[in-house]
């Protein structure tokens, strides 16, 4: 009687097939949407997911200015930046950020959910956020991402 053995396959460049997805942020809750996007960027939706290898897909987010925050977060949530100089700390509420720089709100939310190392930085490069419904990635034929 033969003993069957199945080897666990670790992801590598030969195995990984990267897809493109487009997500519409209109009326989507920021945290719920970005956690799903971060999961796709990491590759957790793949059967061959490997934690130490970037096997995630590309994600395009359109209509970033129409994202929704629940509760009092529009007034209470603050985004802080610090230049490194004395008195160089700046803060802006979520309402100001969504009105002036809506792409940054989504990018920062997703980056916070990715690994804090060079692998996480590589995963973050596969995220493309646009303020309008138009994007220059039509040639990649992205699939629609449902939430």
- Element spanning 20, H or E: strand 20-24
Q: What pLDDT digit, counting tens, does each position of 18-47 carry?
A: 999 999 999 999 999 999 999 999 999 999
Do residues 42 and 1 make contact, with C-beta atoms less than 8 angstroms apart? no
Give which of 56, 66, 147 is closest to 105, Cα–Cα.
Answer: 66
Q: Is the C-alpha dihedral spanning 146, 129, 36, 21 positive or negative?
A: positive
Q: What pLDDT digit, counting tens, does each position of 85-117 carry?
A: 999 999 999 999 999 999 999 999 999 999 999
Q: What pLDDT digit, counting tens, does each position of 50-60 carry?
A: 999 999 999 99
Q: What structural domains does the chain harbor?
A: 20-69+100-144 (3.90.1180.10)
3-state secondary structure of 102: helix
């Amino acid at each position: 009687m033969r003993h069957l053995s199945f080897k666990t396959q670790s992801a590598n460049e030969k195995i990984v097939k990267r897809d493109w997805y487009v997500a519409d942020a209109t009326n989507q809750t920021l945290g719920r949407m970005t956690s799903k996007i971060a999961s796709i960027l990491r590759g957790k939706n793949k059967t061959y997911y490997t934690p130490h290898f970037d096997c995630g897909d590309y994600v395009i987010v359109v209509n970033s200015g129409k994202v929704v925050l629940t509760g009092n977060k529009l007034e209470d949530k603050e985004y802080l930046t610090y230049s490194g100089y004395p008195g160089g700390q700046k803060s802006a509420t979520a309402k100001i950020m969504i009105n002036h720089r809506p792409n940054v709100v989504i990018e920062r939310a997703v980056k916070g959910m990715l690994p804090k190392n060079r692998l996480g930085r590589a995963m973050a490069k596969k995220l493309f956020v646009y303020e309008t419904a138009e994007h220059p990635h039509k040639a990649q034929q992205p699939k629609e991402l449902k939430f």
